[in-house]
Amino acid sequence: MNVLVLNASYEPLQKVDLRHAIRMLVREVAVVEEAEEGRMFGGFPVPRVLRLVRYVAMRWRHGRRPPWSKRGVYLRDRGRCGYCGQRGNTIDHVHPQSRGGGNTWENTVLACGRCNNRKGDRTPREAGLRLRWEPRVPRWEDLVGT
């Protein structure tokens, strides 16, 4: 179940899961604007809508995709190589950079040194490698490092 978070100015910002919402209440960064009738969770009414206590300037969250970054790829892929699932530590360009592949969410995956070497300047198909997941644009929530 997702909870809508409003800015202090009442504009919608994003949706978060219930646990995240409750943590925001515990930390007193948000207040309940609308709750499920008669339902409680962790001592709080189960919120449907929260509102931030302080205004945050988050214009960049509106409809914009998160900007590409190496760290973002690492977080999105949860530290795992996109080809073998082992711990990854380099950025692989699915369509090689040397052949025009760019730094985009859809064209980059985290890779381990071994797979990255094996792939070289080839496409996964040419190198006989298979992506374990389709690289995609992450949600903002995916990029919150823990």
**Left if phi > 0, otherwise alpha if psi is -120 to 50, otherwise beta: which for 78?**
left
Q: What Cα–Cα distance (Å) separates residue 62 from each residue in 4, 11, 68, 100?
A: 14, 10, 16, 30
* Shortest distance (Å) from residue 119 CB to Zn ion: 9
Please identify, using beta-carbon distances, which residue of 50 and 83 lies nearer to Zn ion. Answer: 83
Residue 115 contacts Zn ion per CB under 5 A:
yes
| Bridge partner list, 30 | 52
By CB under 5 A, which span of 28-36, 64-72, 90-98, 114-122 interacts with Zn ion? 114-122
Q: Do the beta carbons of residue 71 and residue 88 sit within 8 Å?
A: no
Residue 110 touches Zn ion, criterion: CB under 5 A: no
Residue 136 Cβ vs Zn ion, minimum distance, rounded to whole Å: 19
Residues that bind Zn ion (CB under 5 A): 81, 83-84, 112, 115
